[in-house]
């Protein structure tokens, strides 16, 4: 029997290694590993929405909504619990804030703050009844539609901004048990006019717990 | 010239067969293979050690030291494939067994060598047993509470269960099965008890859930209900990485019937939270849940933290010593009191629980907690025994050589003085 050249042994080893390197990862795998449920392991909750699972605040965990097509769902901030932007340069803003009634300033004070942002005179309590209404969360709430120069804060930190002429603001402020809801949209008049139907659809989609549009 | 006579092959004899076996052993156990193995070990050790600086210990172990083949990202200079240390050690095991134990002449002169080689085989076997069977994780116990559950430091798993189903077990898919080199790669999982398949895509080693409008993910191509993954730079400390992925539930035709994005870390602007709430879906009339979580398991005893004590260096909050006074209840219900502190672990049922961390800075009203690292390694003591064997083997070899040297010296006549 001819002698096997020993120096080839190392090359054989390397060759085997290279062949094994060609082996790829499995793309379809049967799951065989299991474990028994742990003692006192809680039963997983069923039916949680994505928003409820990944809520950054109480509003996101409580509410259901539909994000209109073309809107950007922005990260929440301290005072914008549902936060969106829209428009070609994201210059339009829409957000929902949920505050405990105590310390929120109340409905009229907040409405007048918004009116001031659009250089509009304040309303009296008696004027609230004359405002147009929308149905949100299954209840009739006063609705604001203002046009003018916007001087309110914008951006994630609500920083005061330069006066913005030819702006439009749509919004609703109302109290529900324990909470003051504010829903607001601002942006250039043409853009807001184009997105008004989307804002309306967003307001209609708002619900609590179950499917969108539920009442509170 | 004599007439040519036909030559016949000699009949195969036991001696012939032994010669063939010996030849095979001489090839498998050759010094040439040993040299290649040692060279590869040097290369892998150097590359793996240097790589720790950039990719961290866990990734270095995964790529170079526990792999059969080094994955592409770890190839030498980017284009030279390397065998993983597991393969190199397996070859070394066979080489040592063949050359250093089976083939070596066995007599009183070589017995030391044989023992030393056996000890090296023991060390390699200990490493293999540890690689395959070692369990390591941490147990967090609040003061006044008990725990018997251990969570892995690093390994993420997908846990699939049917809360109201007949099958009470939880199916576990380990990260090694769904981990991909590129988010574009997918892996599909099936199980005979499932009326669906699960397709994992977009895997990220380190990521947070965010909203699709997050300026950091403007290019996000995938989203679920306005949420997407924001990839983050993998942390060199692997335990700090939070895996993320997209998951599709496929019906029998391969059509997606439910979809979600999974990760435990959530970041919305400055708001950072964690959630292990499971994704739930219906397959026919059956409800299933999937959670992306750290792998966890139960130990056959529970530990109750009676008291946690930490002492600090004067004027600092740097811990000088800390200890956990615990009551361990074993599977038979018997209680035993232990003090776990530095280098004094609790040992039971093959598990070892070390004191590794704590938190006693909790606000008033919240309990302090102690963190124990819990390890089960069937080969825990094998290296110790192997090294004792190596010491004995090398001592025998040394004494044998010394004895031969002395005998030769004595036997050689010294030249007479002039």
Longest pairwise C-alpha distance within chain B: 112
Nearest to A175, CA basis, from A125, A123, A119, A108: A108
CATH entry, A50-208, from 3.30.470.20, 3.40.1000.10, 3.40.47.10, 3.40.1260.10: 3.40.1000.10
- Report how far residue B140's alpha carbon sits from residue B153's, in angstroms, rounded to the nearest whole number: 12
B183 within 8 A of B202, measured Cβ to Cβ: yes
pLDDT tens readout for residues A159-203: 556 889 999 999 999 988 778 899 999 999 999 999 999 999 999
By C-alpha distance, the chain A residue nearest B290 is A44
A72/B227 Cβ within 8 A: no
B187/A28 Cβ within 8 A: yes
Bridge partners (DSSP) listed for residue A164:
A150
- Report how far residue B255's alpha carbon sits from residue B332's, in angstroms, rounded to the nearest whole number: 50
- Report how far residue B62's alpha carbon sits from residue B173's, in angstroms, rounded to the nearest whole number: 18
- Report how far residue B329's alpha carbon sits from residue A100's, in angstroms, rounded to the nearest whole number: 47
Nearest to A54, CA basis, from B108, B276, B135, B155: B276
Confidence check on the interface: ipTM exceeds 0.85, yes or no: no
Q: How far is B409 from chain A (nearest CA, A)?
A: 37
A52/B277 Cβ within 8 A: yes
Of B238, B261, B296, which closes a domain?
B296
Q: Is residue B7 part of a domain?
A: no
| Helices marked H in chain A | 7-21, 50-53, 58-62, 106-117, 189-205
Domain check: are B216 and B276 in the same one? yes
Higher pLDDT among residues A25 and B290, named by residue: B290
In order along its 418 residues, chain B shows pLDDT tens digits of 444 444 555 555 555 556 788 888 888 999 999 999 999 999 999 999 999 888 888 889 989 999 999 998 899 998 999 999 999 999 999 999 999 899 888 888 899 999 999 999 999 999 999 988 888 999 999 989 999 999 998 889 999 999 988 878 999 999 999 999 888 899 999 999 999 999 999 999 999 999 888 887 766 568 888 899 999 998 888 888 999 999 999 999 999 999 999 999 888 877 788 888 899 999 999 999 999 999 999 999 999 999 988 888 888 878 888 899 999 999 888 999 999 998 899 988 889 999 988 886 666 566 678 999 999 999 988 999 999 999 999 999 999 999 999 999 888 776 665 4
- Report how far residue A61's alpha carbon sits from residue A33's, in angstroms, rounded to the nearest whole number: 33
From chain B, pick out residues whose CB is under 8 angstroms from the CB of A37. 161, 168-170
By C-alpha distance, the chain A residue nearest B169 is A36
Q: Is residue B333 part of a domain?
A: yes
pLDDT of residue A168: 96
Q: Is residue B209 part of a domain?
A: yes
From chain A, pick out residues whose CB is under 8 angstroms from the CB of B296. 38
Number of structural domains found in chain B: 3
Domain check: are B40 and B83 in the same one? yes
Q: Is residue B251 part of a domain?
A: yes
Residue B332 exposed, middle or buried by CB count within 10 Å (0-12, 13-18, 19+): exposed
Q: How far is B263 from chain A (nearest CA, A)?
A: 9
Domain check: are B109 and B32 in the same one? yes
Q: Is residue B9 part of a domain?
A: no
Minimum-distance CB partner of A53 among B27, B185, B275: B275
B160 within 8 A of A31, measured Cβ to Cβ: yes
- Report how far residue B64's alpha carbon sits from residue B86's, in angstroms, rounded to the nearest whole number: 9
A33/B173 Cβ within 8 A: yes
By C-alpha distance, the chain B residue nearest A72 is B213
pLDDT of residue B290: 96
Minimum-distance CB partner of A35 among B31, B211, B297: B297
Domain check: are B322 and B258 in the same one? no
The share of chain A scoring above pLDDT 90, in percent, equals: 40
Query: H-helix or E-strand containing B126?
Result: helix B111-133
Judged against a pLDDT cut of 80, whether residue A155 lies above it is answered with: no
Bridge partners (DSSP) listed for residue B307:
B325
Domain check: are B161 and B68 in the same one? no
- What is the secondary structure of B376-414 as a DSSP string? E-TTTTHHHHHHHHHHHHHHHHHHHHHHHHHHHHHHSPP
B207 within 8 A of B232, measured Cβ to Cβ: yes
The DSSP call for residue B74 is: G
A46 within 8 A of B163, measured Cβ to Cβ: yes
Cα-based distances in Å from A168 to A114, A119, A164, A196 = 11, 12, 10, 10
What are the φ/ψ torsions at residue B144 (nearest 5 degrees)?
A: 90, 0
pLDDT tens readout for residues A90-117: 999 999 998 887 777 788 898 999 999 9
pLDDT tens readout for residues A113-151: 999 999 899 999 888 889 999 999 888 999 999 999 998
Q: How far is B377 from chain A (nearest CA, A)?
A: 19
Higher pLDDT among residues A48 and A12, named by residue: A48
A11, A75, A80: best to mutate for the B interface, most B CBs within 10 A: A75
Domain check: are B344 and B354 in the same one? yes
- Report how far residue A54's alpha carbon sits from residue B260's, in angstroms, rounded to the nearest whole number: 11
Domain check: are B114 and B163 in the same one? no
pLDDT of residue B3: 44
Domain check: are B182 and B247 in the same one? yes
Domain range for B161 is 151-296
A33/B30 Cβ within 8 A: no
Q: What is the pTM of this model?
A: 0.75
Domain check: are B372 and B402 in the same one? no
A27/B186 Cβ within 8 A: yes
**Structural domain boundaries of chain A?**
50-208
Of B247, B269, B296, which closes a domain?
B296
pLDDT of residue B147: 93
Domain check: are B180 and B285 in the same one? yes
- Report how far residue B271's alpha carbon sits from residue A179's, in angstroms, rounded to the nearest whole number: 21
Domain check: are B283 and B307 in the same one? no
Domain check: are B268 and B303 in the same one? no
Q: How many C-beta atoms lie closer than 10 Å to residue A102's C-beta? A: 7
């Amino acid at each position: 029997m001819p002698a096997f050249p020993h120096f080839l042994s190392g090359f054989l080893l390397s060759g085997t290694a290279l062949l094994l390197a060609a082996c790829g990862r499995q793309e379809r795998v049967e799951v065989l590993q299991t474990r028994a449920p742990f003692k006192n392991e809680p039963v997983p909750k069923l039916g949680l929405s994505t928003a409820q699972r990944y809520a950054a605040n109480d509003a996101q965990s409580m509410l259901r909504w539909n994000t209109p097509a073309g809107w950007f769902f922005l990260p929440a901030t301290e005072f914008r619990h549902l936060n969106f932007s829209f428009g070609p340069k994201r210059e339009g803003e829409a957000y929902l804030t949920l505050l405990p009634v105590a310390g929120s300033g109340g409905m009229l004070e907040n409405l007048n703050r918004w009116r001031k942002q659009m250089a509009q005179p304040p309303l009296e309590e008696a004027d609230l009844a004359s405002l147009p209404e929308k149905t949100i969360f299954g209840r009739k709430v006063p609705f604001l539609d203002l046009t003018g120069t916007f001087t309110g804060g914008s951006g994630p930190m609500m920083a005061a901004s330069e006066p913005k002429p030819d702006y439009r603001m749509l919004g609703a402020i109302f109290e529900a048990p324990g909470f003051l809801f504010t829903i607001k949209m601002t942006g250039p008049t043409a853009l807001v006019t184009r997105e008004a139907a989307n804002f309306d659809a967003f307001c209609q989609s708002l619900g609590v717990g179950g499917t969108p549009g539920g009442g509170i | 010239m004599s007439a040519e006579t036909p030559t016949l092959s000699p009949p195969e004899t036991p001696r012939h067969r032994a010669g063939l076996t010996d030849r095979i052993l001489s090839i498998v156990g050759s010094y040439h293979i040993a040299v290649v193995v040692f060279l590869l070990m040097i290369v892998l050790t150097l590359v793996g050690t240097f790589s720790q600086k950039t990719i961290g210990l866990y990734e270095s172990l995964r790529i170079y030291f526990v792999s059969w083949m080094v994955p592409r990202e770890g190839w030498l200079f980017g284009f030279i494939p390397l065998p993983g240390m597991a393969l190199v050690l397996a070859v070394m095991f066979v080489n040592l067994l063949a050359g250093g134990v089976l083939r070596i002449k066995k007599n009183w002169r070589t017995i030391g060598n044989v023992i030393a080689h056996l000890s090296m085989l023991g060390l390699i076997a200990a490493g293999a047993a540890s690689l395959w069977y070692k369990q390591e994780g941490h147990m967090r116990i609040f003061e006044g509470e008990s725990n018997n559950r251990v969570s892995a430091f690093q390994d993420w798993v997908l846990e699939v269960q049917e809360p109201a189903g007949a099958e009470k077990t939880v199916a576990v898919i380990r990260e090694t099965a769904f981990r991909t080199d590129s988010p574009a790669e997918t892996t599909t999982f099936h199980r005979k008890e499932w009326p669906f398949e699960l397709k994992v895509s977009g895997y990220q080693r380190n990521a947070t859930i965010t909203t699709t409008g997050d300026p950091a993910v403007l290019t996000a191509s995938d989203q679920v209900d306005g949420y997407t993954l924001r990839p983050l730079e993998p942390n060199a400390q692997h335990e700090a990485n939070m895996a993320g992925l997209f998951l599709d539930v496929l019906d029998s035709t391969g059509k997606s019937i439910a979809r979600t994005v999974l990760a435990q870390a959530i970041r919305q602007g400055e708001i950072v939270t964690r959630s292990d709430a499971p994704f739930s879906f219906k397959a026919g009339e059956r409800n299933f849940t999937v959670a992306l979580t750290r792998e966890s398991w139960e130990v056959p005893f529970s530990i109750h933290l009676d008291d946690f004590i930490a002492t600090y260096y004067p004027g600092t909050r740097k811990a000088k010593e800390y200890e956990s006074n615990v009551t361990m209840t074993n599977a038979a219900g018997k209680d035993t009191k232990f003090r776990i502190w530095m280098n004094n672990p609790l040992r039971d049922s093959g598990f070892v629980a070390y004191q590794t961390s704590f938190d006693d800075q909790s606000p008033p009203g919240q309990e302090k907690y102690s963190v124990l690292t819990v390890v089960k390694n069937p080969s825990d003591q094998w290296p110790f025994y192997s090294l004792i064997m190596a010491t004995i083997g090398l001592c025998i070899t040394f004494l044998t050589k010394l004895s031969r040297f002395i005998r030769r010296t004595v036997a050689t006549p010294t030249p007479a003085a002039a």
